[in-house]
Structure 1
Amino acid sequence: MYTIMLVDDEIGVRNSIKAKIDWEAAGYRIISEAENGLEALRLLQEQPLPDLLISDIRMPQMDGLALIEACKESCPELKIIVLSGYSDFEYMKTAIRYGVKDYLLKPVVRGELTALLARLSKELEEDRAKTRQDRLDQLQSSKQLVTLQEQLIWQLVKDEWLSLSAVKERLRGLQLSALAADEVHARFAAIEMRIPRGRLDDWSERKDLLVLAFGMVCREIAEQWTEVIPLYDFHYPSMMYFLILREKDGAEEEIAAALVRQLQHSIHHYLRVETVVGIGEPVYGIERLKDAYASCMLSWSQGSAGAGPGERKPGAGQEFTLTTETERKLILSIESLDKKAVYKLLQDILPAGPDTTMFAFTFLTFRVILLFSSVARKFELGDSALQRHLWSCQMSLRDSHSKEQVLRQLEELAELVMEEVRKTRFSNGQQLVEAIRKYVDDNFSYELSLASLADMFHLNETYLSGLFKQAAGMTFSDYVTKLRMDKALALIKENQLKLTDIATLVGYSSSSYFSTVFKKYYGASPKEYRVEALGLR
């Protein structure tokens, strides 16, 4: 049903038009009337905008032409039909110049009115469909950007970094400049939904709905703070994480506490489930993001349903950490399958003596498990059973009775990770090249080369080149270009990011070079393609 405002200074004319046809049968409803342009403008400002305005031209106080001109400025999407006498030809020319949809001659003939309304119904339906699609496209574009932001943050938390400068450039391109700041203060919070026994009986589909509602509540609450970025990890659907960013120290403590309190209250009130929360310690600089996450997960692992965050030690994220060099050595030893070196490094990282507090020991254990997960993701294909096992080990740590027991557990986990590396590295080459392809698919926006990949996966560069071409059906450089161009095309169609930002996000530091590659690949420059694809001419 489409709505109409009827404007004419003669009530007899308005009543005659209303009596001409069965408006509802035609798909319309007259929702308001006005006797001059001023009254019509007031109603347009005070009430919902109608789909159609039918107005006389000659009226006192404000005539139809002045009303049309005012509507063109304040509500250009409003469709307007003018009522005209035979002597109003000059007025009609002006009205047409202002963009009216059509006109009706007085006295209004029923057949002409019916035909005009039928034609406008089609246009109005097309307009509504376009508006719905535009809203969906805008929502989808926003979701795409949020997804890219979350993916990048999880990469920074869980994976090896290729280059700090490249990471910061990508953060800025994804509108995460606050995280790229040199002196950023970051803190993680986490909340887990725990469904009481018998709450859902055996209805697994209801759990999916509950998980969906849990995520929606968390995101809605997080929107109250501009400093909070909600994060979802699809591997663990009953968890939501929150990255809190501040340029100066101090305020993130209050934000985290208020956020957690409101989350627990709302989730318990609306969903009737229990929650376990964790709040990590603040870290300074993006380089310590892994420490921020580890301290949050430590707090969460020591929490209990319905209670506040688990034990925290102020400064844990600063006092205890793995140096970049130690991380590099441990990763290299695991990937080289050097058990002896791995065990030695674990003992150095986690000394079991009295000088190391249990809190520091547990915190460093979380960091080591995070590193194990990074290596597992790099080499594990298909089923992520090992990563799920590493996750569950975070909870079992609190049940350990001694540091020695934790260290033995870590050595066992290291063996499992090394076994996964061995299966992939020393297969017939197929598993290894698939792992490399997966890595390239996840990191094509960074500067990748065959030499760096060969070094990363412990291969000869020439051998890798042939192996990759055989598996992918194209050279490594062509494969990376295809990934970048496919992603660039998708981002251009979303029309949310600047072309210079898109160039950065898909791996080109020079926007002019990006434009050259894009034009060679698609036959049009990024700007030309956006104009044509979105009809922006």
Structure 2
Amino acid sequence: MRGRLLIVEDQAIFREGLKKMITSKATGWIVAAEASNGHEAIVQIELYKPDLVLTDIRMPMMDGIGLIRHIYTHKLDTLTVILTGYKDFEYAQTAVQYGVLDYLIKPCTEDTVETMLKKAYEKWISGISKKNRQLDQKKKLQEAALREFCMGLPYDRTRLGEFFAEIQGYEALFLRVTTYFPKGKAYRPQEMSLLQFALINILEELCVADDLGKGRLVAIEADKMILFLPKAGKQIKSMTSVMRDTVYKLLGLHMSVSNAGEISTAEELGRLYRHYSSELPQLTDTKPINHSQQEQVRAIRLNLMSKIIMGFIVETQRQIQDTLEQLKRQSLEESKHTAYSMVLALRDILDKEFHSSRLPELQGARLDELQRAESAEQVCLWLQKMTDHFMAEYEEWRNRSNDGVIGKVLAYLESNYMKECILSELAARFHVNDTYLSKLFKKETGGNFSAYLTKLRMNKARLLLSNTDMKIFEIASMVGYDDPNYFTNVFRTALRMSPTEYRKNYRHINK
């Protein structure tokens, strides 16, 4: 999970330098856009919806303070960091009232920029976590209102209205589990909540797999649920068969599905559900469903994914170890839920972020194994096996993806140094994590990506200066620099002389 960054700086040389500095570091950000003043930045914000804006203070048309004021007054969901010189710092501090996250004093070192970006990334991830909790709470209140309404209990009219506004035009499927204790399965009453958790997870995954991920699954009673799906005709009809077959295959549970059609009002849904429910036998061996378990999976996934993206493998392993220790202090039922949530999060990371689906299935035999655990210690052993498999699979994926990757990157740079070369884009091109690519590049070449690319370009420039009569601006363009002044500054820094001086010296020596 990477954040989008907008750089706002009126001097192209500094903007280019910042971009190269940022893209050469693996800090969780990608440069989504650039702007040379506040007015341009407002347009780019509308187009790219950046998560972080890094802006200079002194710019024409609209300065950095004006831009940050605009972001603040329009309540845009964007973090802001100010670039300023010492003489501007007092003026820049006026932005405190607009919620600016941090200040960078020019000239900035790579370490300073990297530290700021990591701080901003942690703040951004924290904000996502907070929003998820708020959305989960809103969803929980809406679904509680629906549940109470369907069961003829007092309910929150506002929350119910919100829910129906979100599902306008959807069809409703009534789902029912005939029993949680079928023949051939040694399920026990104390494990029913884990079965319900697994059941809901299977149904939600099927919605996503069938591109019906905008659907809403609401558990009304322990054995009855309503699945709201966008109206899709034959797609819904085929999905009902898949749901029944999959639930039986993985959990051994029989499930009935009844399509109530498109629902236009809450009153119509309540009438249909009560009629549906009245014709079914009531289960007596059930307990209420825990409605907060999916929140736990999302929280674990976000926490782990942020560490993996930043390359914090040790911290990832520590979080897994902390969870294993936590299980030992929980009741047996709690430990099973925590372990199951952890592995669902790990599987989701492998599937969606690393495109690997080789983590063993958690339903069927694997779930049976977890259910048979008689103590928290046995649950720990189950989770340890699954997390060990995850880490081994992750390492195998990295090795498989990264086999000879630096050689491929170097070959690419040799052929494309005159184009824009960004570490994160090369990582995506060669199917590796940008954090890992940055570390591997330094390990195998002895220097960072940005320094290597600069050295390569300067060597190519030296050849052109020595063997052609091309103008400086033409050489700059030939080796990947749109701004000849910036190229001259980089050349002077690398060789302690300007391109013109280098050409004169070379020709003088080789007369």
| TM bin (shorter chain) | 0.3 to 0.5
Q: Give TM-score, length-normalised by structure 2.
A: 0.37
Greater relative CO, 1 or 2 (CA 8 Å, sep 6+): 2
Q: Give TM-score, length-normalised by structure 1.
A: 0.35
Greater radius of gyration (CA)? 1
